[in-house]
Amino acid sequence: MSQMERVCLIDRLLRRRLPPPKAELLRKLSVSRSTLKRDLEFMRERLHAPIIWDRVRSGYRYEEPAKGEVPFQVPGLWFSTEEIHALLLVRELLGQLQPGYLSDQLEPLERRLNDLVEASGFSSERIVVHPTPLRPVNPEVFDQVAVATINRKRIGINYFGRHRNEESERMISPQSVIYYRGTWYLDAWCHTREDWRRFALDSIRAVRTMKTAAIDRPLHPQFNAYGIYAGHATRIATLHFDPEASRWVADEEWHPQQNRTVMEDGSVILRVPFDHPQELVMDVLRYGKHVKVIEPEDLRQAVISILDEARAAYEPPYRRPPQSIGTPQSRKRLAR
């Protein structure tokens, strides 16, 4: 019997009309005197249980609450120890991904969970999440969008489009909130454009929740292809990774419908469905010389073009950035 189970049983016994004596607690729990003492101390110190010894009735009981006080309740005992650990990890992950979200609402539960789990020696601080790169979202915007999505309400938003460098007003029916590669996104049906749209939450400047219910529609296939820039997957990219890079690529999932072939020399051929190439090109470039685009030809040429432009930036005459870094002496040495 775990400590949590013993605490639950002690709680039930203390709520009886006749307070249980020590001998009965030892018999019911099947524990030693020292274990019973530790369990009672845990309940008093960690759970703040008002357990007293009733000399008149020779048994343990809860002290009667003062006028206006809420009777003691053992917190969170419907969770197992493993479930408590899981909740603390989820809380830690949410705090890292979106700082401040639901912090006020979760604070009472967090206190109870910490009291229950502290005795086990578990600490969520040993699980660290560093989401990078992170584009922070206004907590008020995130809260309104998340609540409207869950409650199925339409929202009006002021949205700043980075590509056009302009702000527009939209009326949308939110469908789902997504965390992808350090950024929060919202899939929604845009009533203003009468089409599906994917919005970056950090680009939403203001939110207005409407009384009108959000509409639900099957998600357009364009959101099921490669990455966040996905369209309807009409093409397959064939990528060849050398043996060195294959040690990492062999365990990566670039797309749910990808196809991977391990060659005799240890290299890997990866075939990835895609439509818009932007994000796929970025993933290819991060492997540098260790990957080669085999096909399609336009994707191959796009990667070659970017590599040529990057190389050209380093060819003379090299134009120094407006602000130089270092001392005058170090800059003089570099100029030589």
145 and 98 part of one domain:
no
* CA-to-CA dists, residue 3 to 31, 33, 75, angstroms: 11, 14, 14
pLDDT over 70 at 248, yes or no = yes
The pLDDT-based confidence of 208 (bands split at 50, 70, 90) is: very high
Is residue 294 included in any domain, yes or no? yes
Q: Mind giving me the DSSP string for 67-107?
A: TTPPPP--TTTTS-HHHHHHHHHHHHHHHHHSTTTTHHHHH
Task: Give one word for 235, left, alpha or beta, with left for phi > 0 and alpha for psi -120 to 50.
Answer: beta
Cα 138–Cα 100–Cα 178 angle in degrees, nearest 5: 60
pLDDT over 80 at 135, yes or no = no
Q: What's the pLDDT tens digit per position in 254-313? A: 887 889 999 999 999 999 988 778 888 988 999 999 999 999 999 999 999 999 999 988
The pLDDT-based confidence of 21 (bands split at 50, 70, 90) is: very high
206 and 157 part of one domain:
yes
Task: With beta carbons less than 8 A apart as the criterion, state whether 201 and 238 touch.
Answer: no
Is residue 46 included in any domain, yes or no? yes
3-state secondary structure of 231: coil
The enclosing domain of 292 has a CATH number of 3.30.70
Between 195 and 104, name the one with better pLDDT: 195
Give me Rg for the CA atoms of the chain: 30
Mean pLDDT throughout 190-214? Answer: 93
CA 135 to chain centre: 13
Task: With beta carbons less than 8 A apart as the criterion, state whether 4 and 120 touch.
Answer: no
156 and 214 part of one domain:
yes
- pLDDT at residue 229 in the model: 44
The enclosing domain of 152 has a CATH number of 2.30.30
- pLDDT at residue 269 in the model: 96
Task: With beta carbons less than 8 A apart as the criterion, state whether 146 and 209 touch.
Answer: no
The pLDDT-based confidence of 237 (bands split at 50, 70, 90) is: very high
Query: What percent of the residues of the chain are helix, what percent strand, and what percent coil, each to the nearest 5?
Result: 40, 25, 40
- pLDDT at residue 307 in the model: 94
d(CA 36, CA 40): 6
Residues whose CB is less than 8 angstroms from the CB of residue 255 and which lie 6 or more positions away in sequence, other chains included: 225, 226, 272, 273, 274
208 and 248 part of one domain:
no
DSSP letter (8 states) at residue 18: S
The pLDDT-based confidence of 17 (bands split at 50, 70, 90) is: confident
Residues whose CB is less than 8 angstroms from the CB of residue 95 and which lie 6 or more positions away in sequence, other chains included: 101, 103
Is residue 71 included in any domain, yes or no? no
Q: What's the pLDDT tens digit per position in 209-233? A: 999 999 988 766 555 554 544 556 7
188 and 149 part of one domain:
yes
* CA-to-CA dists, residue 184 to 102, 106, 197, 221, angstroms: 16, 21, 14, 20
Torsion of CA 244, 245, 246, 250, to 10 degrees: 140
| Domain hosting residue 274, numbered range | 235-312
The enclosing domain of 51 has a CATH number of 1.10.10.10
- What is the number of structural domains in the chain? 4
- Tell me if the pTM is above 0.75: no
Torsion of CA 295, 301, 307, 310, to 10 degrees: -150
d(CA 153, CA 304): 46
247 and 303 part of one domain:
yes
Number of alpha carbons in the 13 Å side-chain half-sphere of residue 265 = 8
Between 74 and 115, name the one with better pLDDT: 74
The pLDDT-based confidence of 67 (bands split at 50, 70, 90) is: confident
pLDDT over 70 at 331, yes or no = no
- pLDDT at residue 236 in the model: 92
Task: With beta carbons less than 8 A apart as the criterion, state whether 305 and 298 touch.
Answer: no
Which one of 40-44, 53-57, 156-160 scores highest in mean pLDDT? Answer: 156-160
Encoded tokens for 201: 């939450």
